[in-house]
Structures are given as C-alpha cells and as structure tokens.
Amino acid sequence: EDKVVQSPLSLVVHEGDTVTLNCSYEVTNFRSLLWYKQEKKAPTFLFMLTSSGIEKKSGRLSSILDKKELFSILNITATQTGDSAVYLCAVGLGGSQGNLIFGKGTKLSVKP
C-alpha cells in the first residue's frame, strides 16, 4: 500500500527558530514529491521535487529530496508567527494515475 509518513506530527517553536520537517514515503510508482502549506482551508503549493539532491528554495523555505532513502525535508529558517500552519507532504504517482498521496501533516506553531 502506498504511504507517506510525516514527522513530527506537531511542533512548537519560537520566532526566529529554524525548523526541519520530515517526510518519508513508500510508493510503487513515484513521480514527484510536493509540499503544501495549509492554514485555514486549501493547501497552498510550496514546492515540487522530482530529482534527488537538488535544493529548491523560496525565501526562508527550502526543500530537498533523497530518492535513494525515500525522504524529503522542508526547512524553515528564522520562523515567523505567520509560518504557523499545517505543512503537508504529498507524493504524486506516475503512469495513468497522477493523483497525490498525502501524509497526515505537521502542525507548526510559532510563538512570538
């Protein structure tokens, strides 16, 4: 069965801290790995990764994929209260599928 596991499930930090969120996966037909930020409603797209070892960066957020060890990390540096959200990791399946398999998410709370 295809699965995506995120850790930790929740995390409380103070503004200015750096956090690392983890995502491991086991799927039969990997195409891509995506990170989303979910605040109140819809998941907002952050990154898509398809190749190992290539870091994607957007401001204080960065992510990297390891296709050999089947995991990805999402780093957030100098956290702000506005980073408080649930961060979702999803694996996109290949072939005729294309749908995403989601993890349970990591709930990040950033305290002032």
Asked if residue 8 has a cis previous peptide bond (ω within 30° of 0), the answer is yes
Per-residue mark of binding to other proteins, 67-96 (x: CB under 8 A): ---------------------x-x-x---x
61 binds other proteins (CB under 8 A): no
Per-residue mark of binding to other proteins, 32-51 (x: CB under 8 A): x-x-x----xxxxx--x-x-
Q: Which of 20, 8, 89, 77 is nearest to 49 (CA)?
A: 89
Residue type, 30: F
Q: Given candidates 31, 56, 67, 107, which one binds other proteins under the rule CB under 8 A? A: 31
Number of residues that make up the chain: 112
